[in-house]
Amino acid sequence: MSMVYGVLLSVVINMGMDKIMPSLKEIMQNTGPDEKIAILVHMAEKPDFEAIKNLPPKEYVEYIKNFAENSQRDIINYLKTNFSNKIEGLNPYWIFNGFYVKATKEVIEELAKREDVEYIIEDFVIQLEEVKPADPTILTPTWNVTKVKADSCWNAGYTGAGVIIGHMDTGVDINHPALQGKWLSPYWYDPINGQPNPYDDNGHGTHTMGTILGGDGNGPFANDIGVAPGAKFVACKICNSGGSCPSSAIHAGFQQIATWRSQGVLIVAASNSWGSTATTSTEFWQDCTNWRNVGIFPVFSIGNSGPNPNTAGTPGNFPIVIGVGATDANDNIASFSSRGPAPNQAPWNQTQYWMRPDWNRTKPDISAPGVNVYSSLPGGSYGNMSGTSMACPHVTGAIAIINQKNSALDVPTIYNLLLDWADKPSQGAPYPNNNYGWGRLNVYQALLHTPTPNMPNVYLESYTLQDAGGNGYWDPGETAYIRVTLRNTGANATNVNGTLRTTSPYVTIQDSTSSFGNIPQGGSANNNNDPYIVVAASNTPVGTQVTFQVYITADGGYSNTSSFTVVIGQVGQDWVDHDCGNILLTVTKWGSIGYLASTQAAGHGCRYPITNTATRLFYG
């Protein structure tokens, strides 16, 4: 099949050393001229992901492979022709457009002069965050599974049976009694040690896998530690025995899971209990984009760097993934759980990447049990661990259960089912927020609201709020007009109507109904000509969050509810980032530039190029 699609170029106006990340520059300063440094080279040329995202997985991967090969051909020939004795281990990738190589400083500097190079970074290592000490007292072996109502799903006949989950971690002990028979052979990949069969020489991966699918649910097995005990898994070992995860191995794991998906292994989600504290790094953005475009839901822990704001790590803070925070048995958010918001810069603040119209950089997206979680350990044993690493696999298991009921649902639909029907502990109100996200996972409620394959699936795709005063903010005492777009990813829906609701005491809805007509499968409709009309009370405190629900009905008894949250009034900010695309500058409410204070705790200074995480401006 012949395919022609667009190409996007990352505009790179800087040359030479500015393309070398500061961390790599520091390594180069302490490296001899003949020593080789392991690096990752990112190419400036990018596929037009929007144009190709609807290709079948096999064709999509073939296109991406060909794109990367063509894009990298000249630079790889350049290296082999001119520096054959100064490089080694050259390994091209297609999961992102770039390659790994060990090269001397001279080679790195020459690569940085090329216009086709976006940036160069060392093969940096992500260390699995130290598992937080857990109380040795086991509240109940499966308190966490009960807390998210997974057992209610089993009673209803849903265990994740027939669903395949991906896993990138330290490996898995497939002979553990709670995990026996759950590995889908031969789908195992070990870029760390090259071993042909699954193993876990650390323990972290076996523990997280146990939480996804360990035990047998309502069967006779004693230790029901997993949310979706009927699911199967494939796995990549991306971290060594000490919990160190080289970025080259992480990219390789992303690529292998996408390859399996293109070969017909129907991986619906992949669990990732790892992440970087570099909150603005986009190192794995292309990898996550490619997973999404072949139908894999990326699930990530949000990190253990809390409780301060702006600590949500990457990739967990990406808008194209679901990032998971940690709660305890009493539904308190864990003090260590990283907090949002996500960075106010591209791509985070670009709405085309948001999976719900009111996301607005809220992280985590959702929370789940992550304190004193009891699960499997290598060698057949069990133990407690705490961390957002332990919270993440609950959500992966939940996705398996929802997919068993309806395998036709796309990633945004599942994402919104999880968020809309999460429990909202009173101590975390109001929701959403940058501690819990939209609440604590309740997989049973999400399951109950999951449509069957022969039903419509009409949900809120986007909304706009137009204030009567025209200043862009819905102020206290002001009337506003809400226009929504509904999308249907299920069976044809006829006579679709939407009713706007809210429980806010500060809001009066003057016109609450709109008709959307018939919405065919894959189609959308809006109420632009008949918007909802709402009025904010004059005594509304500035910054009040108002949650609206759109109650959607269609012929045949179909109904669904989608929610979104808006803010009344303009809330001041201590500082904002002015992002021009290639340069970013922080401006504060006090008029200082770069940072709010000399501690540099609030603000990003001046970053040029924007991919450079080091500031070029200091408070003073």
- Report the largest interatomic distance among the alpha carbons of the chain, rounded to a whole angstrom: 75
Confidence at residue 570, expressed as pLDDT on a 0 to 100 scale: 84
Span between the terminal Cα atoms of the chain, in Å: 60
Is-contact 406 350, C-beta < 8 A?
A: no
CA distances for 206 relative to 128, 153, 229, 394, 578, angstroms: 14, 23, 14, 14, 44
Give the H/E segment covering residue 70.
helix 57-82
Confidence at residue 41, expressed as pLDDT on a 0 to 100 scale: 98
CA distances for 595 relative to 310, 390, 609, 615, angstroms: 14, 35, 18, 10
Q: What is the CATH number of domain 7-123?
A: 3.30.70.80
d(CA 28, CA 12): 22
Q: What is the CATH number of domain 458-568?
A: 2.60.40.10
Residue 196: asked if its preceding bond is cis (omega within 30°), the reply is no
Confidence at residue 601, expressed as pLDDT on a 0 to 100 scale: 56
Q: Where in the chain is the domain with CATH 2.60.40.10?
A: 458-568
d(CA 228, CA 212): 6
499 by DSSP, 3-state: which? strand
Angle ∠(414,417,418) on CA atoms, nearest 5: 90
Quickly name the fold that domain 127-448 has. Answer: Rossmann fold (3.40.50)
CA distances for 462 relative to 36, 355, 430, 486, 564, angstroms: 50, 9, 22, 7, 9
Is-contact 489 522, C-beta < 8 A?
A: yes
Q: Where in the chain is the domain with CATH 3.40.50.200?
A: 127-448
Q: For each successive 10 residues of the chain (620 residues), what is the average pLDDT?
A: 42 58 95 96 97 97 98 98 97 98 98 97 91 51 90 97 98 98 98 98 97 95 95 98 98 98 98 97 98 98 96 98 98 97 96 94 98 95 95 98 96 95 96 97 96 91 93 95 94 97 97 97 94 97 94 94 91 69 72 67 73 60
260 by DSSP, 3-state: which? helix
Q: Where in the chain is the domain with CATH 3.30.70.80?
A: 7-123
Q: Could you count the other beta carbons within 10 Å of the beta carbon of residue 60?
A: 23
Is-contact 151 158, C-beta < 8 A?
A: no
575-579: strand order across its sheet: 575-579, 584-588, 606-607
Q: Could you count the other beta carbons within 10 Å of the beta carbon of residue 478?
A: 18
Question: Tokens 């993934």, residue?
Answer: 321
Residues with Cβ within 8 Å of residue 499, at least 6 apart in sequence? 512, 513, 550, 551, 553
Closest Cα to residue 179, out of 378, 6, 21, 374? 378
Dig out the tokens for 378 from the structure.
Answer: 């290598």
d(CA 215, CA 180): 9
529 by DSSP, 3-state: which? coil
Write out 216-241 in H/E/C secondary structure. CCCCCCCCCCCCCCCCEEEEEECCCC
Confidence at residue 585, expressed as pLDDT on a 0 to 100 scale: 81
Going by the DSSP 8-state scheme, the letter that residue 334 receives in this structure is: P
d(CA 497, CA 309): 40
Catalytic residues: 169, 204, 389
Confidence at residue 18, expressed as pLDDT on a 0 to 100 scale: 86
Rg (C-alpha) for the chain, rounded Å, is 25
Angle ∠(275,371,240) on CA atoms, nearest 5: 40
Dig out the tokens for 85 from the structure.
Answer: 């004795």
Amino acid at 491: A
d(CA 316, CA 322): 7
